[in-house]
Amino acid sequence: MAGETINLVGEVMTFINITPKEAFSIAGLGFLGGMLSGFIGSGGAFVMTPGMMALGVPGIVAVSSNLAHKFGKAMVGARKHSKMGNVDTRLGIFMVAFLLIGVKLAVYLNEHIFETLGKAGSNLYISLVFVVLLSGLALFILRDIFNPNHKKGADKPTGFAEKLAKINIPPMIHFKVANIRVSLWFVAIIGLATGWLAGTVGVGGFIGVPAMIYVLGIPTMVAAGTELFLAIFSGAFGAFNYALNGFVDIRLVLLLYLGSLLGLHIGANATKMVSELQIKLVMAVVIGMSAISRAFAIPKYLVDLHMANFSEGFASVLDLAATVTLYGGAIIGVLMIVRYIIGFKQGQKSNTQYDQLKGHSKRDSV
Amino acid sequence: MSGASKPSFLKTIIFLGLSVCAYLVIFSNIEQLNQFFLSKAVIPALCLMGTVIGIAFLYGTAISHVLSILGLQSDH
């Protein structure tokens, strides 16, 4: 499969030349991302986008192909989730308007950076956003794990959300399913931020869901359901806008599907066998390693842009470290999941044996 | 494991066959398809989105049916 060439202002961009080895790597990446996404309930773009970049795919093509992949998956998944009644359609419609503005802004910025600074500039921008977003998120999850005052399943609005609900900036809107009354301006800010992140790195839910829970005080399940509804629009709109400029590589989308849809089911099944703490631990490890990986990749892009004076050899070693950290993090995450599943199955087995022994001894005593 | 009834074997085979055919057709004509999809116009962009939805539906349903038959289907 030969690489396609696209003429862009100032640069000729070549898509990755996909050999059977690369095809297998992308499908495997899809499987890792899918399994992790099924397990921790997110889109998996935080592994798949940097993973594709590590394979040599330009950042903007990785983001846009991932958005197309996410959109198709969201369309299929929405059929299932719509039956659960966790979507606040009114909130979704209000947010979509601002979400699309955020996506459009992100697409414009990404394309502008690609056209002016080229592949290295675009990769640097995407990697910087990833480092800030993922390291912040990993720290947030770790704080959540080690915070002794943390209360499980706190669905009530937090103190901050309560304070926000009291701020009366018209128009104030009541959302029935989420059961909140909040200013449209706060909804607009969250919609814009979610859309911008979705369009920039293909990961919007990581900000959208916590913001809806902690800032607006929306119950967790409604926040997750509404985010899924929003993901269809952000994915479709983002992918369509990138496709209009020839950035979506259908081969990458299809190869990602091969692994991700299978991994998704396995990861989702594994959630029934583990505790909330174990899920958070996997999340913290994978997201943290992904953030470190992108930080390692930055010097190489700086050298390519002649913005730093590292030696080529040093930058290449760091680039290799970025690839190893990323894949290492994803593989450690998957191994942790497999270990939890084995532990659960062994526990089940020993419980059954104990029950059988108990039954035998009762019969003997009778 | 969901309490829903298992899909029929025939349906599973049909979806699997269709998704394999779709993948083969797309990858054997990838040069022409990519030329069309990357032509930076509204219709090719819409066709690309349609292809993604179609593949996601066919392959997603096939995988879901296979895992259901194996007793591994999830409610997520």
**pLDDT tens-digit readout, A241-283:** 888 888 888 888 889 888 888 887 777 777 777 777 777 788 7
Is A148 exposed, middle or buried, given 0-12, 13-18 or 19+ CB atoms closer than 10 A?
exposed
Residue B31 lies in a domain: yes
Closest Cα in chain A, distance from residue B70 (Å): 12
Q: Do B52 and A250 touch (CB under 8 A)?
A: yes
pLDDT for residue A86: 66
Q: Do A248 and B37 touch (CB under 8 A)?
A: yes
Residue B57 lies in a domain: yes
Residue B2 lies in a domain: no
Q: Do A250 and B72 touch (CB under 8 A)?
A: no
- B69 touching chain A per CB within 8 A: no
- Average pLDDT (A215-238) is 77
Instruction: Please report residues of B whose CB lies closer than 8 A to that of A279.
Output: none
Token reading at A177: 């399913």
Query: What is the CB-side half-sphere exposure of residue A56 using CA atoms within 13 A?
Result: 11
Closest Cα in chain B, distance from residue A235 (Å): 10
pLDDT in tens, chain B (76 residues): 444 566 788 888 999 999 999 999 988 888 888 888 888 888 988 998 889 888 888 888 888 888 888 776 655 4
Token reading at A291: 């953030």
Domain range for B61 is 9-69
The number of beta carbons lying within 10 Å of the beta carbon of residue B28 is 10
**pLDDT tier at A5, thresholds 50, 70, 90:** very low
Instruction: Please report residues of B whose CB lies closer than 8 A to that of A266.
Output: 72
pLDDT for residue A319: 80
State the alpha helices, DSSP H only, in A180-275.
Answer: 184-201, 205-210, 220-244, 250-270
Is A350 exposed, middle or buried, given 0-12, 13-18 or 19+ CB atoms closer than 10 A?
exposed
Instruction: Please report residues of A whose CB lies closer than 8 A to that of B44.
Output: 243
Nearest residue to A243 (alpha-carbon basis) of B74, B49, B7, B53: B49
- What residues form DSSP beta bridges with A183? A172
Residue B1 lies in a domain: no
Closest Cα in chain A, distance from residue B60 (Å): 6
- Average pLDDT (A212-240) is 78
Instruction: Please report residues of B whose CB lies closer than 8 A to that of A68.
Output: 48-49, 52
Could you please report the per-residue DSSP string of A118-167? HHHHHHHHHHHHHHHHHHHHHHHHHHHHH-TTPPTT--SPPHHHHHHHH-
Reply yes or no on whether the pLDDT at A200 is more than 80: yes
Closest Cα in chain A, distance from residue B8 (Å): 19
Token reading at A301: 């892009």
Q: Do A76 and B26 touch (CB under 8 A)?
A: no
Q: Which of B30, B40, B53 sits opposite A251 (nearest CB)?
A: B30
Residue whose structure tokens are 């099924």: A38
Better pLDDT: A211 or A31: A31
- What lies within 8 Å, CB to CB, of A6 at 6+ separation is A12, A13, A15, A246, B38
| pLDDT tens by residue, A81-103 | 566 666 777 888 888 888 889 88
Do strands A5-8 and A11-14 pair parallel, antiparallel, or not at all (unpaired)? Answer: antiparallel
Is A357 exposed, middle or buried, given 0-12, 13-18 or 19+ CB atoms closer than 10 A?
exposed
Nearest residue to A332 (alpha-carbon basis) of A281, A294, A298: A281
Domain count, chain B: 1
Could you please report the per-residue DSSP string of A5-42? EEEETTEEEE-----HHHHHHHHHHHHHHHHHHHHHTS
Q: What is the ipTM of this complex?
A: 0.88
Which residue does chain A place closest to B54, by CA atoms?
A72
Q: Do B48 and A243 touch (CB under 8 A)?
A: yes
pLDDT for residue A2: 43
- Least confident interval from A56-70, A326-340, A347-361, B55-69: A347-361
Residue B56 lies in a domain: yes
- B12 touching chain A per CB within 8 A: no
Which residue does chain A place closest to B46, by CA atoms?
A240
**Could you give the CA distance from residue A291 to residue A133 in angstroms, rounded to a whole number?**
8
Residue B76 lies in a domain: no
Closest Cα in chain B, distance from residue A6 (Å): 8
Question: Which amino acid makes up residue A144?
Answer: D
pLDDT for residue B17: 93
For an interface test with A, the pick among B25, B28, B76 (most A C-beta atoms closer than 10 Å) comes out as B76
The number of beta carbons lying within 10 Å of the beta carbon of residue A268 is 20
pLDDT for residue A229: 78
Give one word for A25, left, alpha or beta, with left for phi > 0 and alpha for psi -120 to 50.
Answer: alpha
Token reading at A315: 């930058």
Reply yes or no on whether the pLDDT at A182 is more than 90: no
DSSP 3-state of A344: helix
Residue whose structure tokens are 């979506």: A248
Sequence length of chain B is 76
**Could you give the CA distance from residue A35 to residue A328 in angstroms, rounded to a whole number?**
15
Q: A46-77: string of b/e by CB count within 10 Å (b at 16+)? A: bbbbbbbbbbebbbbbbbbbbbbbbbbbbbbb
Is A135 exposed, middle or buried, given 0-12, 13-18 or 19+ CB atoms closer than 10 A?
middle
Instruction: Please report residues of A whose CB lies closer than 8 A to that of B41.
Output: 244
**Could you give the CA distance from residue A8 to residue A111 in angstroms, rounded to a whole number?**
10
Nearest residue to A115 (alpha-carbon basis) of A248, A3, A8, A2: A8
Q: Is the dihedral of CA A147, A186, A159, A177 positive or negative?
A: negative
Reply yes or no on whether the pLDDT at A17 is more than 70: yes
**Could you give the CA distance from residue A212 to residue A204 in angstroms, rounded to a whole number?**
12
Instruction: Please report residues of A whose CB lies closer than 8 A to that of B33.
Output: 250
Residue B3 lies in a domain: no
**Across all residues in chain A, what is the average pLDDT?**
77
Which residue does chain B place closest to A236, by CA atoms?
B49
Q: Is the dihedral of CA A179, A185, A187, A189 positive or negative?
A: negative
**Could you give the CA distance from residue A282 to residue A141 in angstroms, rounded to a whole number?**
10
Closest Cα in chain B, distance from residue A268 (Å): 6
Which residue does chain A place closest to B61, by CA atoms?
A76
